[in-house]
Amino acid sequence: MQDFGAAFGAAFRLVITLDPDLVEIVGLSLRVSLGAVLAAAVIGLPIGAGLAVARFPGRGVALVALNSLMGLPPVVVGLLVYLALSRAGPLGPLGLLYTPTAMVIAQMILVVPIVAAVSRQTVEDLKDEYDEQLRVLGVGPAGMVATLLWDARYSLLTALLAGFGRAVAEVGAVIIVGGNIAHVTRVMTTAIALETSKGDLALALGLGIILLALAIGVNAAVMGIRRTAGHAAFA
Residue 181: its H or E element: none
CA-CA distance, 95 to 87, in Å (whole number)?
Answer: 7
Q: How far is the CB of 143 from another protein (least distance, A)?
A: 7
Residue 65 CB, nearest approach to another protein (Å): 29
Q: How far is CA 131 from the centre of its chain?
A: 30
Q: How far is the CB of 19 from another protein (least distance, A)?
A: 15
> Cβ distance 122 to 72 under 8 Å?
no
Instruction: Candidates 84, 101, 117, 210: give the one binding another protein (CB under 8 A).
Output: 101
String of b and e for 94-118 (b: at least 16 CB within 10 Å)?
eebbbbbbbbbbbbbbbbbbbbbbb
| Alpha-carbon span 159 to 230, nearest angstrom | 19
Contacts of 149 (CB under 8 A, 6+ apart): 45, 46, 49, 119, 123, 156
DSSP code for 93? G
Query: Would you say 27 or 213 has its CB closer to another protein?
Result: 27
State yes or no: residue 98 binds another protein (CB under 8 A): yes
Can residue 196 be called a binding residue for another protein (CB under 8 A)? yes
DSSP 3-state of 91: coil
Look at residue 135 and give its three-state secondary structure.
Answer: helix
Interacting stretch for another protein, rule CB under 8 A, among 64-72, 73-81, 98-106, 108-116? 98-106
For another protein, give the closer residue by CB, 39 or 70: 39
Residue 203: partners with Cβ closer than 8 Å, 6 or more residues away: 7, 10, 195
CB atoms within 10 A of CB 59: 11
Binders of another protein among 128-157, rule CB under 8 A? 129-130, 132-133, 135-140, 143, 147, 151
Per-residue interface string for the shown chain with another protein, residues 34-73, x marking contact by CB under 8 A: xx--x-----------------------------------
Which helix (DSSP H) or strand (DSSP E) does residue 58 occupy? Answer: none
Q: Which of residues 216-235 bind another protein (CB under 8 A)?
A: 230, 232-235
Residue 110 and residue 221: Cα distance in Å, rounded? 23
If one asks whether residue 172 binds another protein (CB under 8 A), the answer comes out as no
Instruction: Give the residue with the Cβ less far from another protein, 66 or 126.
Output: 126
For residue 105, state whether it binds another protein (rule: CB under 8 A). Answer: no
Site string for another protein, 174-193 (x = CB under 8 A): -----xxxx-x---------
Residues interacting with another protein, by CB under 8 A? Answer: 28, 31-32, 34-35, 38, 86-89, 92-93, 95, 97-101, 104, 129-130, 132-133, 135-140, 143, 147, 151, 179-182, 184, 194, 196-201, 230, 232-235
